Amino acid sequence: MMLLAVFVIATPALAREPAIHPAVITDPRPDAAYPAGMSAFVIPVEDGAMNAVLYTAAGPGLHPTLLLLHGFPGNEQNLDLAQAARRAGWHVLTLHYRGSWGSPGTFSFTHASDDAFAALQFLQQPATVARYRIDTSAIVVAGHSMGGFMAADAAAAEPRVAGLFLIDPWDPAHTVAALATPEGEAAWKAEVASDLPPLNGATYDSLTGEIRGDGQKFDLGRRLAGYGRRPLTLLGAEKGIGAHARKAAADAQGANPDARLMVWPTDHSFSDSRIALADALVRFLAGVAPTIR
């Protein structure tokens, strides 16, 4: 009974109001003085760097900012979500982890975790805040698949994060448990093999060794418990890895009774639900920063 009171499991139609948020389907009025824009740059981190793009929203004053993290390896970057969030008045920082898609350095899950945290710190540096007019009281992290784990990991380590939105998040602990079966090991080997080409320096053995070797860190439920009672939504995909989201949400309920879980009947990339996904994200952001249109 407690679990049912805490989490909502719904289809897209039940997870949101009937009307689509205007920012999802309507361009805002142009602002000649403070136009929307895009800035590309490199964020240095340890022995590498992250190729990054900041989508900047139109309008004067400070802006809330979303850090949007892609998955493994990042074929789906969810840039339609970045555009919708920007139309809603949010800056959006997207990036490629070091060692991925041409970013200098070596890719690993540990490096990706460190990179997500470094990106959060970049958004709060005085020079960044001044240049891009960032409201540091309204920084939200969102992530898809592996990026969902990295988002939770970074947000748990940074108490100034105002909200966390996870899209069919990957739980490494779930993968490690599946490796105990021949079918689970074969599926993981096939996934890693298909995802390695855009990653520098990573191998099946190195990546698998990471998640097997540090169960305390690579556990989504633990990361969410550490995140505490700040706004949290997990949106799983029934035809993807929604079971990961369900387990992680259950693990998090003791620390965060207001956490929200939705599981939609779609695939891991939300291929047939992109408008609904953008709507869910924008509505979540509006709840974190309600003064933004």
Residues 132-153: pLDDT tens digits? 999 999 999 999 999 999 999 9
Both tokens assigned to 81: 């979500």
**What confidence score (pLDDT) does residue 291 get?**
64
**What confidence score (pLDDT) does residue 252 get?**
83
- For 37-156, list the strands marked E by DSSP: 37-45, 48-56, 63-69, 91-96, 134-144
**What confidence score (pLDDT) does residue 43 get?**
98
pTM of this structure: 0.93
* pLDDT for 14 beyond 50: no
Sheet of 91-96: strand order equals 37-45, 48-56, 91-96, 63-69, 134-144, 163-167, 232-237, 260-264
| Mean pLDDT (whole number) for 253-278 | 94
SS3 content of the chain, % helix, strand, coil (to 5): 40, 20, 40
**What confidence score (pLDDT) does residue 7 get?**
40
pLDDT in tens, 46-80: 999 999 999 999 999 999 999 999 999 999 999 99
For 153, the enclosing helix (H) or strand (E) is: helix 146-157
Per-residue pLDDT band at 169 (split at 50, 70, 90): very high
Per-residue pLDDT band at 289 (split at 50, 70, 90): confident
**What confidence score (pLDDT) does residue 292 get?**
59
Per-residue pLDDT band at 35 (split at 50, 70, 90): very high
pLDDT in tens, 112-134: 999 999 999 999 999 999 999 99
What percentage of residues in the chain have a pLDDT greater than 70?
93
* pLDDT for 10 beyond 50: no
Per-residue pLDDT band at 5 (split at 50, 70, 90): very low
Measured between its terminal Cα atoms, the distance across the chain in Å is: 37
CB 172 within 8 A of CB 211: yes
pLDDT in tens, 194-218: 999 999 999 999 999 999 999 999 9
Alpha-carbon span 248 to 254, nearest angstrom: 11
